Structure 1
Amino acid sequence: MQLKNPILGLCQQAKFMLSAAKVDQCPDDAGFEVAFAGRSNAGKSSALNTLTHANLARTSKTPGRTQLLNFFLLDDDRRLVDLPGYGYAKVPIPLKQHWQRHLEAYLGSRESLKGVVLLMDVRHPMTEFDTMMLDWTVASGMPMHILLTKADKLTHGAAKNTLLKVQSQIRKSWGEGVTIQLFSAPKRQGLEEAYRTLANWLELEDKAQQ
């Protein structure tokens, strides 16, 4: 339980920093960043808002409204990044291509990026986008933690079965380095596990033990 306190405090004081349409508009590449990625209907904004106890990320009935890289400041050295939703939004093809190009540029060049949280709807996991993200993170050696969101939409047994099935699939195809859990924003399910991962990537473990 000690580990929870520093990351919880930082998340509760999270504030919007800036939005970037291109990599060269991002903040200085220093410190620690954790990026949140997922299809446009995976519940990414709701998860971010639940983790930060705020309404930082814009939620919408129309998926795909996040068209920029949105940076949220935790402290002088640490940030959360809301990446553009992908693959579902009803937007013109050139705009989708713009998102993909700059998303790949960010993921491939950002030295301060310490890990990627990939969100999947527990009812529709392992889409083409999800496998693309898994391929990239494993190939680049980037840590990844998966939130199977909207777990409250299934019975406990069905959600657990999906978790075990996806976990097995990932271990078989991508190895042991990717971690995964169930998550529900409305029920606040899975917060502790998610906070532990964030604290590790943002190097808050030592602070928790002081």
Structure 2
Amino acid sequence: MSNPLERAQYLLAAHNQRQLPADVGYEVAFAGRSNAGKSTALNAICRQNALARVSKTPGRTQQLVFFGLPPHTDRFLVDLPGYGYAKVPKDLQAHWQAFIQDYFNTREALKGLVVVMDIRHPLKEYDLQMLGYAVENGLPAHALLTKADKLGRNAANQTLFAVRKELNALYADSVSVQVFSGESKVGVDEAVGVIRSWLEI
């Protein structure tokens, strides 16, 4: 089965509401704390090596980056700014928080949120904040527990069980969760299936 996400290509980067593309069609956003492996996950899901820039400097993504999915002109993946990085100035943090909250509250095209978490450090305050934005707006959310290759299978499954239990307690089954590794490609097909169902492609 072909994966239409493989055709993803950079479209634009938005620093504020005015720069966002027209609010039509379907888009899926990706969020993650700095260094959670968000860029690596995006690249693995789209089976490309350099679609999203993998940076050694946490917090490098400082805008909403849109990727188009040709031949569809109204299907997008959106890379949200890496968050939770202490070296970002407070006023910039406040700008991003307001921008992203507004994006979640008003964006009609947004059909789902993927929250990327390092499986060794899941459910930090920022992860819960982003999941909260989705749940409050009736958006489906899916948690990727990345870097699963860093743990043994038993440890990864135990973490998955614990995270799923906590998410169900917090959000009553409105957030799904899986293990994932951009390096070993564990869970890539599952993630692609979730995203395609939201994009209806």
TM-score (norm 2): 0.95
Pick one of 48, 57, 70 that aligns with 2:52: 57
Cα distance, 1:63–1:89 mapped onto 2, change above 3 Å = farther
Contact 2:36–2:116 (Cα < 8 Å) also in 1: yes
- Larger deviation: 42-51 or 94-103? 94-103
Q: CA RMSD in A?
A: 1.0
> 1:183 corresponds to which letter in structure 2?
F
Alignment-derived partner of residue 12 in structure 2: 18
* Distance of 1:174 and 1:16 partners within structure 2: 33
Contact 1:36–1:118 (Cα < 8 Å) also in 2: yes
1:200 aligns with 2:197: yes
Q: What's the offset of the Cα at 1:89?
A: 4.8
Counterpart mapping for 1:65-76 below 5 A: 65-74=60-69, 75-76=72-73
Q: What's the offset of the Cα at 1:40?
A: 1.1
* Distance of 1:38 and 1:106 partners within structure 2: 16
Q: Which runs of 5+ in 1 are unaligned?
A: 205-210
Cα distance, 1:40–1:48 mapped onto 2, change above 3 Å = same
1:163 aligns with 2:160: yes
Pick one of 147, 151, 154 that aligns with 1:154: 151
* Distance of 1:107 and 1:42 partners within structure 2: 21
State the identity as a percent: 51
Q: Which runs of 4+ in 1 moved over 4 A?
A: none
Counterpart mapping for 1:118-197 below 5 A: 118-197=115-194
* Distance of 2:62 and 2:192 partners within structure 1: 26
> 1:20 corresponds to which letter in structure 2?
A
* Distance of 1:53 and 1:184 partners within structure 2: 13
Partner SS, residue 120 of structure 1: strand
Q: Which runs of 5+ in 2 are unaligned?
A: none
TM-score (norm 1): 0.91
Contact 1:40–1:89 (Cα < 8 Å) also in 2: no
Alignment-derived partner of residue 93 in structure 2: 96
Contact 1:14–1:73 (Cα < 8 Å) also in 2: yes
Q: What's the offset of the Cα at 1:134?
A: 2.0
Counterpart mapping for 1:43-54 below 5 A: 43-54=37-48
* Distance of 1:140 and 1:188 partners within structure 2: 31
Partner SS, residue 154 of structure 2: helix
Cα distance, 1:49–1:153 mapped onto 2, change above 3 Å = same
Q: Deviations over 1:127-150 (max 9, x none)?
A: 001111222221211100110000
* Distance of 1:113 and 1:91 partners within structure 2: 26
> 2:107 corresponds to which letter in structure 1?
R
